[in-house]
């Protein structure tokens, strides 16, 4: 029978047990020994589940206490100097300090894991003296074998990927760092081989991105070194998220297996095999079950693909596996009891994907007839959803087609609008504002729960929300902010909130996935045509504006972010989904403006993460992403100021697209990158309003005035002072009240210093 494998399993647990344990430990409510014990129980349960479902090669060391890239850095003792690490096994306090920051030291940068919504902690190599602090893959292998009798497949992040995702070294030092790291990797592999490990999975997703000839030479050096050091160990060189860039070079490497993504890299990888074949002496890890999507696999199609691959690869050299780690999908559909049958029957989360792997492995090893019932049931599930009235709204499809063919531009260019807006708003130099959300206290969450359970009626809940708005409008005025927000106390999640008020969305009860650390999100499911139903944000925003003379921003989540942070339908192009969302949000923007709201923020923090990994596909994506934003915002008056917000630190390759969005003001997260984004503006002129986040809201520490002053000063060396705004780097929902107020007070103090030092030119 053909083997089956998983590249990784969700860490969080069916009921988010992992998240709850982490947060209890951080809060001092759980002793370290109990914390380790609880996480071990979760970890073993995940292994046991895969074992019971008949997965042949079960991954170990895919579990993490926070993030797998941070784990790799800690395993090599690569800890930033500011944490005073002295060597040896990294203590949990230091490990979590790097991830979350401490009172004394800022956290390491956090950024997107390729083009997913998972965030990893960026390793800082500057000043590090790498050492093998502990062989984590070996520890994980021993645990699985001793506790459950599982012959696990240790998972390790490969050296080329690790280096490419790290910072704190120059390109000229790449080979030097490889020389430092390779002996440590060799030691890990030799110890695994001595232990009797059969397979080890080395993840090199960097191979699906653009590399150069030097990188290919490094790749050859790396895997030749591994093959010579541990000749008996079977290495599965694993790629995912796209097709391999240098196929012929990669499959020629001295490894036993090559793992390829036949979902997101389907056309490229299949074309390579058709053109060049596959080495007879290697095993193919065929990633045919989508590790990032939630829909049932079309089993007949997958079976046909496996049969085609079997013409190039001997059955005993084929492993059926997920396209990537299941980290990116919820745990089980079994927890969902409220979804419409035609939708629920079309879903497959992590556990259901394990079953799909088992079915396909069985089918390719025997005969289609043995899984006839499963295939017929799969066909019915897909057809029922296809015929759903929610997927066939001609009114929406026609309206969107019409609007998308129009010229989507503001009535006047930014320079003219800016004069009109300055005249209207009379803001001081360096206006201060926040990104939108304020702390959601236990009281806020309890009130929402009471309302959702029906214990509070809608008027009681609305009155409570108004009370919270009153408190925070007053606080913002006392702090001295120039442009206020209502605080978003009525919103659970910036995407879910809007999805609940639009047609075409569905919501799971327990469909959680990890975003970063213990931060879990429950992405909505866009399963049908998206349509505007009625006003979504006008009531709260209008009320907030009535409580102050200062401008209050209306707050919306943009179409690309809603799409990228949702699980989306696969039967139409993502571009069309984006336009449907833009058309619906456009109607809300117009409603806000009609209600007297003259500043409207349409957040697009997820534009960058949707950027295709293949360079040749990026321009097209950015073109329709910009078009969707403009479709949302282009109909407002000249004096209505459109704001947006983006999270990420690598914008140098899309500055032109950001400017093309034509937002009057953009705020960009930059604090964790320690001002590196500012370098982009040293190389590129930006002519619209901009705010670079001057402090990190993901860390519980209160930033000093001096830190923010330094950030402001550097930004003003490359940006037009007359167009510069000052704000935190992201929303403040997850922060506490006192730290939020103290941080904002320091931000306003830093702004006042900047204003005093500013000398107008001309």
**Span 88-131, pLDDT tens digits:** 999 999 999 999 999 889 999 998 899 998 999 999 999 999 99
Alpha helices in 253-371 (DSSP H): 266-276, 299-309, 341-344, 350-365
Region 297-313 average pLDDT = 95
Provide the token pair at 9.
């399993």
Region 66-78 average pLDDT = 98
Burial class for 215, CB neighbours closer than 10 Å (0-12, 13-18, 19+): buried
**Span 372-382, pLDDT tens digits:** 889 999 999 99
Q: Contact, 138 vs 192, CB < 8 A?
A: yes
Provide the token pair at 98.
């790097």
Region 9-16 average pLDDT = 96
Q: How confident is the model at residue 762 (pLDDT cuts 50, 70, 90)?
A: low
DSSP conformation class of 56? S
Region 215-227 average pLDDT = 97
**Span 427-466, pLDDT tens digits:** 999 999 999 888 888 899 999 999 999 999 999 999 999 9
Region 46-53 average pLDDT = 97
**Span 172-190, pLDDT tens digits:** 999 999 999 999 999 999 9
Q: Contact, 288 vs 273, CB < 8 A?
A: no
Q: Contact, 330 vs 299, CB < 8 A?
A: no
Q: Contact, 241 vs 114, CB < 8 A?
A: yes
Annotated binding site for L-methionine: 435-437, 488, 603
Q: Which of 119, 382, 486, 698 is catalytic?
A: 698
* CA separation, residue 44 to residues 14, 40, 47, 50, 518 (Å): 13, 6, 5, 10, 19
Region 51-67 average pLDDT = 97
Q: For residue 628, how many C-alpha atoms fall within 13 Å in the half-sphere facing its CB? A: 29
| Three-state helix/strand/coil letters over 531-584 | EECCCCCHHHHHHHHHCCCCCEEEEEECHHHHHHCCEECCCCCHHHHHHHHHHH
pLDDT of residue 670 exceeding 80 = no
- pLDDT of res. 674: 46
pLDDT of residue 366 exceeding 90 = no
Q: How confident is the model at residue 365 (pLDDT cuts 50, 70, 90)?
A: confident
Q: How far apart are CA 255 and CA 226, in angstroms?
A: 9
What is the value of pTM for the model shown?
0.90
Q: How confident is the model at residue 656 (pLDDT cuts 50, 70, 90)?
A: confident
Mean pLDDT, the chain, rounded, equals 93
CATH topology of domain 3-386: TIM Barrel (3.20.20)
Q: Contact, 726 vs 751, CB < 8 A?
A: yes
Backbone phi and psi for residue 223, each to the nearest 5 degrees, phi listed first: -80, -20
One of 1.20.1050.10, 2.60.40.10, 3.20.20.210, 3.40.50.620 is the CATH number of 394-756, namely 3.20.20.210
Q: For helices 350-365 and 299-309, give the axis angle rounded to 10 degrees.
A: 50
Tokens 């047990």 map to which residue? 17
Instruction: Let me know if the fold of 3-386 is the same as that of 394-756.
Output: yes
Q: How confident is the model at residue 651 (pLDDT cuts 50, 70, 90)?
A: low
Q: How confident is the model at residue 362 (pLDDT cuts 50, 70, 90)?
A: confident
Q: Where are the domains of the chain?
A: 3-386, 394-756
Region 225-230 average pLDDT = 98
Distance of CA 376 to the CA centre of its chain: 35
**Span 315-325, pLDDT tens digits:** 899 999 999 99
Produce one character per residue of 729-754: b if its CB has 16 or more CB atoms within 10 Å, e if not: bbbbbebeeebbbebbebbbebbbbb
Q: How far apart are CA 365 and CA 60, in angstroms?
A: 26
pLDDT of residue 539 exceeding 90 = yes
- pLDDT of res. 700: 74
- pLDDT of res. 605: 87
Active site residue 36: no
**Span 485-523, pLDDT tens digits:** 999 999 988 899 999 999 999 999 999 999 999 999 999
Annotated binding site: 16-19, 112, 435-437, 488, 519-520, 565, 603, 609, 645, 647, 669, 730
């Amino acid at each position: 029978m053909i083997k089956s494998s998983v590249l990784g399993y969700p860490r969080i647990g069916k009921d988010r047990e992992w998240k709850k344990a982490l947060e209890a430990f951080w809060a001092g409510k759980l002793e370290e020994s109990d914390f380790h014990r609880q996480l071990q129980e979760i970890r073993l349960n995940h292994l046991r589940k895969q074992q019971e479902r008949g997965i042949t090669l079960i991954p170990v060391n895919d579990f993490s206490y926070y993030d797998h890239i941070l784990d790799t850095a800690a395993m090599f003792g690569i800890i930033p100097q500011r944490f005073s690490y002295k060597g040896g096994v990294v203590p949990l306090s230091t490990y979590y300090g790097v991830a979350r920051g401490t009172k004394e030291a800022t956290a390491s940068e956090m950024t997107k894991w390729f083009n997913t919504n998972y965030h990893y902690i960026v390793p800082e190599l500057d000043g590090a003296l790498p050492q093998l602090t502990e062989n984590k893959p070996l520890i994980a292998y021993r645990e699985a074998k001793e506790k459950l009798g599982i012959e696990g497949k240790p998972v390790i992040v490969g050296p080329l990927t690790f280096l490419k995702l790290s910072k704190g070294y120059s390109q000229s030092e790449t080979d030097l760092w490889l020389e430092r790291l390779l002996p440590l990797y060799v030691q890990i592999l030799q110890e695994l081989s001595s232990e009797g490990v059969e397979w080890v999975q080395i993840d090199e997703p960097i191979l699906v991105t653009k590399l150069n000839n030097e990188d290919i030479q490094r790749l050859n050096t790396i895997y030749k070194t591994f093959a010579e050091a541990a000749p008996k160990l079977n290495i599965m060189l694993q790629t995912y998220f796209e097709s391999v860039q240098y196929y012929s070079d990669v499959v020629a490497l001295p490894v036993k297996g090559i793992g390829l993504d036949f979902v997101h890299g389907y056309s490229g990888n299949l074309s390579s095999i058709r053109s060049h074949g596959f080495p007879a002496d290697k095993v193919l890890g065929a990633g045919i079950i989508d590790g990032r999507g939630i829909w049932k696999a079309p089993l007949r199609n997958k079976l046909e693909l496996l049969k085609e691959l079997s013409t190039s690869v001997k059955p005993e050299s084929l492993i059926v596996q997920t396209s990537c780690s299941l980290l990116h999908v919820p745990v089980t559909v079994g927890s969902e009891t409220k979804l419409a049958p035609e939708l629920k029957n079309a879903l497959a989360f992590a556990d259901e994907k394990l079953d799909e792997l088992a079915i396909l492995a069985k089918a390719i090893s025997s005969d289609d007839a043995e899984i006839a019932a499963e295939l017929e049931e799969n066909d019915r599930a897909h057809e029922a959803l296809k015929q759903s009235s929610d997927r066939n709204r001609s009114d929406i499809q026609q309206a969107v087609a019409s609007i998308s063919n129009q010229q989507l531009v503001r009535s006047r260019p930014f320079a003219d609008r800016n004069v009109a807006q300055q005249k209207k708003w009379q803001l001081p130099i360096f206006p201060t504002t926040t990104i939108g959300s304020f702390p959601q206290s236990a009281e806020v969450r309890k009130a929402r729960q009471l309302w959702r359970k029906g214990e509070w009626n809608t008027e009681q809940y609305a009155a409570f929300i108004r009370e919270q708005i009153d408190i925070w409008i007053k606080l913002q005025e006392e702090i001295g902010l120039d442009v206020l927000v209502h605080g978003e106390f009525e919103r659970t999640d910036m995407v879910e909130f809007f999805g609940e008020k639009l047609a075409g969305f569905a919501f799971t009860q327990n469909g959680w996935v990890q975003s970063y650390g213990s931060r879990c999100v429950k992405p909505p499911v866009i399963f049908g045509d998206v349509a505007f139903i009625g006003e979504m944000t006008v009531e709260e925003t209008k009320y907030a504006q009535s409580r102050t003379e200062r401008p209050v921003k209306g707050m919306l989540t943009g179409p690309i972010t809603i799409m990228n942070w949702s699980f989306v339908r696969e039967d139409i192009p993502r571009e069309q989904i984006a336009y449907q969302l833009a058309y619906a949000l456009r109607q809300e923007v117009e409603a806000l403006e009609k209600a007297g709201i003259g500043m409207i923020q349409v957040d697009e923090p997820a534009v960058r993460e949707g950027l295709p990994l293949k360079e040749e596909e990026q321009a097209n994506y950015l073109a329709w992403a910009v078009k969707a934003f403009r479709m949302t915002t282009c109909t407002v008056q000249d004096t209505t100021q459109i704001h947006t917000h983006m999270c990420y630190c690598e914008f140098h390759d899309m500055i032109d697209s950001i400017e093309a969005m034509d937002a009057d003001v953009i705020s960009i997260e930059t604090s964790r990158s320690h001002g590196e984004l500012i370098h982009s503006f040293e190389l590129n002129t930006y002519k619209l309003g901009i705010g670079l986040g001057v402090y990190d809201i993901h860390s519980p520490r209160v930033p000093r005035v001096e830190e923010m002053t330094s950030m402001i000063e550097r930004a003003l060396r490359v940006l037009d002072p007359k167009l510069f705004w000052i704000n935190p780097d992201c929303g403040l929902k997850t922060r506490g009240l006192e730290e939020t107020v103290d941080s904002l007070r320091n931000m306003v103090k830093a702004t006042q210093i900047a204003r005093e030092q500013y000398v107008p030119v001309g």
